[in-house]
Amino acid sequence: MDIHEYQAKEILAGFGVPVPRGGLAYSPEQAAYRARELGGDAWVVKAQIHSGGRGEAGGVKVCKSEKEVAEFAAGLFGKQLVTRQTGNGGKGVYRIWVEEASDIAQELYLGFVLDRKTERIMVVASSSGGMEIEEIAEEDPESLVRMVVDPAHGLAEYQARELAFRLGLKGDQINQMVKAVRACYRAYRDLDATMVEINPLVITGSGDLVALDAKMSFDTNALYRRPQVEALRDPSQEDSREAMAHDNGLSYVGLDGDIGCIINGAGLAMATMDMIKLSGGEPANFLDIGGGASPERVMTAFRTVLSDPNVSVILVNIFAGINRCDWVARGVVEAYKAEGLTLPVVVRLAGTNVDEGRRIIDESGLPLITAETLAEAAEKAVAARPKRAA
Ligand code: GDP
Ligand code: MN
């Protein structure tokens, strides 16, 4: 789960990372008011969306008057900001962060990720901040410093000092860096983060270290024990189909095709998507209803899949172990009636109570298309798609 820059800054500041003073705005007037509140004569106005690359996309500007702050904010609010990370649809700007402008002497990069090879948290830093990490790796790989943290000891002070030396820092900046790096590590570990990135971490003209940008992502599987993190979720930044599924406890991933899939088990879902592709079709989503799916759950799955306007066929593929085919069949029949479906639905059932499941489908009198095998189900779903006008 991602959060906004201003939320990440607030969290990191709580752990001891220095950040500029700033305020949040929901309107251009409020943005100008925030500037006045902060004082000074220059402010950075920043679109809050769950994406990096906002600067080059026109979502960040240094403004020199309250009027300029309000005007720039007015141009951003309600806009779909397209960055190199968002995809063509962009992300909606509904919150803007206004902060005191910093004067930048040097930009550094500081990131924390989980290194799957060593199964440990890894710190990545560079003296070439400002660019994205992929660009640094390409254009200035020599500048990259990597360090793996032993979970039993945490990020030791000597490691943080070595990191600061290798970035070429001097004097008091070394102490500031040690404090900031260790604070980020504690935030990462204590809140079950999966990523912390400060880019740029700058040294100001007066020699102070400040986090000018901040990004954090969190492990969704740990949110149950991090309610203060879960509270930061912003559904306006999520794929609306995925947000709906999340709210109903389904695992759903939106894709670009037109065959809606309702499947139990991630492995079967992957196999079904391969089969759809082999048969010449494109899946609209990946939806796993999980084990023990009640008819109500199947109905919720239908509603989630139907909320995607691209869906022209639904494929239900159940291999029931813990599940029961009769429950799933009842859910399919009820959903079909309740939603007044007109689009083709292909149903393939196998496993526990399959005979009862098939009987329910057959006796429903609904025009459901049945299949015996996965391959047959995929072929029938592809064939059932309405012909597009040429
Ligand atoms: P991103 O493009 O989404 O990563 O957004 P950032 O928060 O990193 O801002 C983009 C760029 O704006 C930064 O790399 C800086 O060069 C610039 N910037 C941000 N804050 C300030 C500031 O306080 N002063 C100045 N001079 N530039 C800033
Ligand atoms: Mn940045």
Q: Both 303 and 316 in a single domain? A: yes
In DSSP notation, 130-141 reads: SS-HHHHHHH-G
The residue out of 210, 238, 266 marking a domain boundary is 238
Answer yes or no: is the C-beta of 54 below 6 A from any ligand 1 atom: yes
Domain containing residue 43: 21-101
Tell me what the mean pLDDT of segment 125-153 comes to: 91
Answer yes or no: is the C-beta of 42 below 6 A from any ligand 1 atom: no
Q: Is 252 a residue of the active site?
A: no
In DSSP notation, 339-362 reads: TT--S-EEEEEEETTHHHHHHHHH
In CATH, what number is assigned to the domain containing residue 260?
Answer: 3.40.50.261
Joined together, the tokens standing for residue 102 give: 């910093």
Comparing CA positions, the residue from 123, 118, 135 lying closest to residue 162 is: 123
Q: How far is the CA of 200 from the centre of ligand 2 (A)?
A: 6
Task: Give the residue, out of 2, 5, 81, 104, with the most ligand 1 atoms within 8 A of its beta carbon, to mutate for a pocket test.
Answer: 104
Amino acid at 307: S
Is 390 a residue whose pLDDT tops 70? no
Instruction: State pLDDT tens for residues 293-305.
Output: 888 888 999 999 9
In CATH, what number is assigned to the domain containing residue 233?
Answer: 3.30.470.20
* From 5, 6, 197, 252, the catalytic residue: 197
Is 35 a residue whose pLDDT tops 50? yes
Q: Both 11 and 55 in a single domain? A: no
Is 131 a residue whose pLDDT tops 90? no
Joined together, the tokens standing for residue 86 give: 């968002």
Task: Tell me the percentage of the chain whose pLDDT exceeds 90.
Answer: 84
Task: Please name the residues in contact with 98: beta carbons below 8 A apart, sequence gap of 6 or more.
Answer: 22, 23, 24, 25, 31, 34, 35, 38, 43, 44, 45, 46, 69, 73
Ligand 1 atom nearest the C-alpha of 83 is 3
Is there a domain that residue 390 lies in?
no
Tell me what the mean pLDDT of segment 133-156 comes to: 92
Is there a domain that residue 388 lies in?
no
Burial of 373 (C-beta count, 10 Å sphere; 0-12/13-18/19+): exposed
Q: How far is the CA of 130 from the centre of ligand 2 (A)?
A: 6
Q: Both 260 and 325 in a single domain? A: yes
Task: Give the residue, out of 3, 212, 216, 237, with the most ligand 1 atoms within 8 A of its beta carbon, to mutate for a pocket test.
Answer: 212
pLDDT for 113: 96
Q: Is the dihedral of CA 35, 39, 43, 46 positive or negative?
A: negative
Neighbours of ion ligand 2 (CB under 5 A): 199, 213
Q: Both 8 and 157 in a single domain? A: yes
Instruction: State pLDDT tens for residues 207-266.
Output: 999 999 999 999 999 999 999 999 999 999 987 778 888 788 888 888 989 999 999 988
